[in-house]
Amino acid sequence: MIPVKILLAFVALSLLMVVIYRFVPPPVTLTMLFDPNGITKDWTSLDEIDPDMARAAIAGEDGKFCSHHGFDVDAITKAALHNASGGRIRGGSTISQQTAKNVFLWQGGGLVRKGLEAWFTVLIEAIWGKKRIMEVYLNVAETGIGTYGVEAGSMRYFRHSAGKLSRAEAGRIAAVLPLPKKRAAVAPSGFTRRYGNTIAARIGVVQRDGLDSCLRWGIPLTSHISRRF
């Protein structure tokens, strides 16, 4: 059984980290530190990233991002049933859960990691809000070998900033996100090409149906500090 003092210390430390990262870009993550390919990244505020990139992430990763409170119960249930039946493993994690894992934890499964992921997901939903969660997600998600964030990914694949992404390019980067070490957004073929095209086509639906309404482009984050690394 975990001693009460250790538990309280963990709660206090985790709360402090979440509050700090509400305003300050996370400087590095465990995934980055243990990446043998090095780290290429360039922090970019959400308002400087083309809105279609966030819409592509919603279309490809989490269609209910603006309406759930961190967890998509239906998606988790469907993923569990699908995985129990065998075949290709399917994830049910939301963008909020992925952000919590990427920033505060390590890759891989296990009940301990899943439990901590749920804890940090609740915290960032309550303290950060949707716009900050999306901003951090688009800056820490692995977009290629040794490449983190959509700015670095855009420069790697298309030689221009994430603020100039076309819908097709945003769709390709979103298609890479689930398996960044095995997929590439430039000259994609097979599944990556088809999936990228599907996501690009869904971007208009996300915008039309207001599935990105919680992001409110043009309204800056309160007390937001923009930094580049």
Question: Would you list the DSSP string of 82-116?
Answer: HHHT-SS------HHHHHHHHHHS-SS--HHHHHH
Predicted local distance difference test score (pLDDT) of residue 93: 92
φ/ψ of 144, rounded to 5, equals: 175, 180
> How does DSSP assign 155-224, residue by residue?
HHHHSS-GGG--HHHHHHHHHHTTSTTT--SSS--HHHHHHHHHHHHHHHHHHHTTTTGGG-TTSPPTT-
34 is a domain residue: no
Asked whether residue 188 is domain-assigned, the answer is yes
Please measure the distance between the N-terminal and C-terminal CA atoms of the chain and give it in whole angstroms. 41
Dihedral in degrees, nearest 10, Cα atoms 31, 78, 182, 203: -100
The enclosing domain of 182 has a CATH number of 1.10.3810.10
Total number of domains constituting the chain? 1
pLDDT tens for the chain, 229 residues long, are 678 999 999 999 999 999 999 999 999 999 999 999 999 999 999 999 999 999 999 999 999 999 999 999 887 777 656 555 555 545 579 999 999 999 999 988 789 999 999 999 999 999 999 999 999 999 999 999 999 999 999 999 999 999 999 999 999 999 999 888 888 777 666 888 899 999 999 999 999 999 999 998 665 554 333 333 3
Q: Is residue 12 part of a domain?
A: no
Which structural domain, as residue segments, surrounds residue 102?
40-215
SS3 state of residue 40: strand
Residue 64 within any structural domain of the chain: yes
Residue 5 domain-assigned? no
DSSP state of 146: T
Closest CA to 222 of 150, 131, 138, 101: 131
Residue 15 maps to a domain:
no
Determine the Cα–Cα distance for residues 145 and 186; give it in Å rounded to an integer: 13
Let me know if residue 2 belongs to a domain: no
The pLDDT score that the predictor gives to residue 88 is 52
- How far is it, in rounded angstroms, from Cα 134 to Cα 130? 6
Is residue 160 situated within a structural domain? yes
